[in-house]
Amino acid sequence: DVLMTQTPVSLPVSLGGQVSISCRSSQSLVHSDGNTYLHWYLQKPGQSPQLLIYRVSNRFSGVPDRFSGSGSGTDFTLKISRVEPEDLGVYYCLQSTHFPWTFGGGTKLELK
Amino acid sequence: EVQLAESGGGLVQPGRSLKLSCAASGFTFSDYYMAWVRQAPTKGLEWVASISYDGGSTYYRDSVKGRFTISRDNAKSSLYLQMDSLRSEDTATYYCTTDLAYWGQGTLVTVSS
């Protein structure tokens, strides 16, 4: 199975600040079709996960441009600028290149 | 508006069965791969199973292979998860998701005697 290592586990932030979350995979996430199926989700307390970024760097419908994704191969990053209160929660990366699909362990974004 | 509504969760004894359903609306159901993802209490997310557009291909994580069966009825815009030989470690909220983009609110399955 592809191991997804997310860091940090906890990320204190001030409102208006900028943060980065790292996600590293144990093997390349480049699919045989040439695409890289690495996605980012936010799960707010008591809610289901919501898709933020799909295939490394594509913002999902309605996601503000404060969120950006980058990376390639095995090393990926989610950046959040100008953090707002509604951004707080747990962030997960997910790879769907290889079965079984696997999630990172999560990064909890919380106020300092 | 895309809507996914899971149902069928509840308390069940180890070794028993349960069938989850997911009613979809707001999109052309047959155009999407569908999947089940679960989350044990206070834990992270775990992919369970996926199914292709027409149900011809299915995929499972090893821990549920042979015990769980994912299926769909495109005429009814519905996704299912038949869960047999349930174990305590299957206790989780189960989410259905359209190709990992849209997610339902989840249904809680508790396996306990």
Return the pLDDT at A22: 98
B62 touches chain A (CB under 8 A): yes
Give the CA-trace dihedral at B68, A46, B33, A94, to 10 degrees: -90
pLDDT of residue B24: 97
For residue A61, what is the nearest residue in chain B, using CA coordinates? B101
Distance from CA of A100 to the nearest CA of B (A): 6
B86 confidence band (pLDDT: 50, 70, 90): very high
Say yes or no: B34 contacts chain A, CB-CB below 8 A: no
Beta-bridge mates of residue A77? A22, A70
Q: B99 falls in which pLDDT band (50, 70, 90)?
A: confident
| Residues forming a β-bridge with A54 | A58
Average pLDDT over residues B14-24: 98
Distance CA A61, CA A72 (A): 22
Q: Which residues of B touch A102 (CB under 8 A)?
A: 47
- Percent residues over pLDDT 70 in chain A: 100
Question: How many residues belong to chain A?
Answer: 112
Which amino acid is present at B33?
A: Y
Across the interface, whether the CB atoms of A102 and B100 are under 8 A apart is answered no
Which of B45, B58, B60, B95 is best to mutate for the A interface (most A CBs within 10 A)? B45
**What are φ and ψ of residue A81, in 5° steps?**
-110, 155
The whole-number pLDDT of residue B90 equals 98
List chain B residues with CB under 8 Å of A39.
100
Per-residue pLDDT of chain A (112 residues; tens, 9 = 90+): 999 999 999 999 999 999 999 999 999 999 999 999 999 999 999 999 999 999 999 999 999 999 999 999 999 999 999 999 999 999 999 999 999 999 999 999 999 9
Dist. CA B9–CA B53, nearest whole Å: 24
Q: Is B2 on the interface with A (CB under 8 A)?
A: no
Q: How many CB atoms lie within 10 A of CB B43?
A: 11
Contacts of B95 in chain A (CB under 8 A): 48-49
d(C-alpha B9, C-alpha B52), whole Å: 23
pLDDT value of residue B97: 97
**Closest partner residue to B47 among A50, A51, A101, by Cβ?**
A101
Q: Contact A95/A4 with Cβ under 8 angstroms?
A: yes
Residues B54-76 pLDDT 10s: 999 999 999 999 999 999 999 99
